[in-house]
Structure 1
Amino acid sequence: MEIFNDLLKFSVVDIIDVFLVALLLYYIYKLVKGTVAINIFIGIIIIYLVWKLTEFLNMELLTGIFGGFMKVGIIALIVVFQPEIRKFLLMVGSTNFNRRRKFLSQLSFLKTENSDETDVAAIISAANKMSASRTGALMVFERNNNLDFLCASGDAMNITVSQPIIESIFFKNSPLHDGAIIINNNIVKATRVILPVNNETTIPKRFGLRHRAAIGVTEKTDALALVVSEETGNISYFKDGEFIMFDDTQELAMIIKEDLS
């Protein structure tokens, strides 16, 4: 009966509270999904639930142990989740709300297709041609995090994405071919952009500055990156600081479209 009475007291504020918590958990999951941190995140949830269960059952010794772990462990969690926390704060602080009519349209399950959808097919076709000619390229796709702070390091542009445009930018004799380009809503926002470079020694030595820059920008933001190697012609796709080399570019096109949606 007490539970039933509590349900009757459930107010609009409680509904908003539950919704906001669910939204926060969704964004946290989105940040750690596909990384090693997801296992740590699940482990923390399990420990928290066990702590609350022991507290409910009045198991004082276990409650004290788990309670102490949760209080002291917060410092360790800040260290462990430093990249994810940085990315989350960047997402909250630099999301470009002005480019969306409504705040709720940021939620992926409420988004609809529109005319601004990036022409992934044209980008992949350009990447294939540059791969065949061993032309190096680095393309960054902006998502929720606003990358204007990176665009400022290059040349501002406002060019609609097309295969000839991409190829001409990265043509070896072009004055724009150095650095990265940033693409958002089918528009090349900037060229010759300088990206943060990852200097981890665990990265294979065969990777050059383009690959390290792609790892760096996808670690620090939620952006995606596509790299064409000048040495081998290999096409690599970067997300959350991790990369995959693709031979089947049709599969790659499908993955990029899904990630951008």
Structure 2
Amino acid sequence: MSLVPAPPSALLFLEVFRIGFVPVGWLDLLDIALTAVLVYQGYRLIRGTIAVQVAVALLGIYALSEVVRAIGLTTLNTLFGAVGDVFVLAVLILFAPEIRQALFLLGRNPLVRRLVTQPPRQKITDEVVGALREMSRDRVGSLIAFARSSGLRNYVESGTQIHAEVERDLLTSIFFPNSPLHDGAVIVQGQKIEAARCILPVSDARTLDPHLGLRHRAAVGLTERTDAFVVVTSEETGKISVAENGKLDVDLSLDEVEARFNAAFSPARRDDDEPAPPAP
């Protein structure tokens, strides 16, 4: 049975042009474009960090191993072959922070968040706002983190497990200055207060006000690494602040905090994943 040649139109669709005798088709162009995007995004992720130097060093070792193999140096080729067996593991270890950050950015994708984010009950909003009102009035320092699509289990395990309903009196009691749980953060996940006295990562961003305390820097630090929504009250001024997406908004009114809280957990969250503007 003879093969029927493809019509010229089909060949034109598959082949865009030729480089010498190598045909280049639409799939090749798509492959190149996707690879370029991934490489660029990877560079953006590690730009300005020590990971850039590590990546250059690894690429240099890989290039040297290819040269050794091409020349045919048996001993060095065997040595590089042994190193290549653990190359992937070494990359995972060396780039663990960057890989974790990339996964967090993926988790912030609106499509992912719509699958896993559940809007809080109105009761939780009322209880939290009531607690913030009292602590702001009495100038009680507090730090409350609300989990969204990114899990906060590592931070929950650093504190004291509670697993209690979100209630105003409980929140104000936890952050009362003489309470053994007032240092650290309270983490709310789903409909429960999971833990208190939790240790959060502290941001080292130089754009933050140098007069801000550890509570505010911890709030920003957590939102730099996860998509959590964090509220803070200052024990010095009583001002309420909100941290979201690595940004801190200071001295918000209770109405503004409530609007931001509802917007953060709304199923109609905007696709650009930016914090909602304060209520007028």
- TM-score, normalised to structure 1's length? 0.62
Matched, 1:77 2:44: yes
Among 212, 216, 221, the alignment partner of 2:217 is 212
1:198 CA drift (Å): 1.1
Q: Distance in 1 between matches of 2:134 and 2:182?
A: 15
C-alpha spacing 1:225/1:71, structure 2 compared with 1 (3 Å): closer
Among 98, 108, 128, the alignment partner of 2:114 is 108
Q: Distance in 1 between matches of 2:198 and 2:116?
A: 32
State how 1:141-156 maps to structure 2 within 5 Å.
141-156=146-161
Matched, 1:200 2:205: yes
C-alpha spacing 1:154/1:114, structure 2 compared with 1 (3 Å): closer
Q: Is contact 2:113–2:149 with CA below 8 Å preserved after alignment?
A: no
Q: Distance in 1 between matches of 2:35 and 2:115?
A: 38
Q: Distance in 2 between matches of 1:81 and 1:90?
A: 19
Q: Distance in 2 between matches of 1:67 and 1:258?
A: 33
Aligned pair count? 193
Aligned alpha-carbon RMSD (Å): 3.8
Matched, 1:255 2:269: no
1:212 CA drift (Å): 0.6
C-alpha spacing 1:67/1:221, structure 2 compared with 1 (3 Å): closer
C-alpha spacing 1:68/1:238, structure 2 compared with 1 (3 Å): closer
Percentage of pairs with the same residue: 33
Q: Distance in 1 between matches of 2:41 and 2:165?
A: 46
Matched, 1:174 2:179: yes
1:122 CA drift (Å): 1.2
Q: Secondary structure at the match of 1:126?
A: helix
C-alpha spacing 1:180/1:72, structure 2 compared with 1 (3 Å): closer
State how 1:1-261 maps to structure 2 within 5 Å.
73=40, 76-80=43-47, 86-90=100-104, 107-108=113-114, 119-261=124-266
Any unmatched runs of 5+ in structure 1?
7-54, 57-63, 96-104
Q: Distance in 2 between matches of 1:130 and 1:154?
A: 21
Any unmatched runs of 5+ in structure 2?
1-8, 14-23, 26-31, 50-96, 267-280
Rg larger for: 2
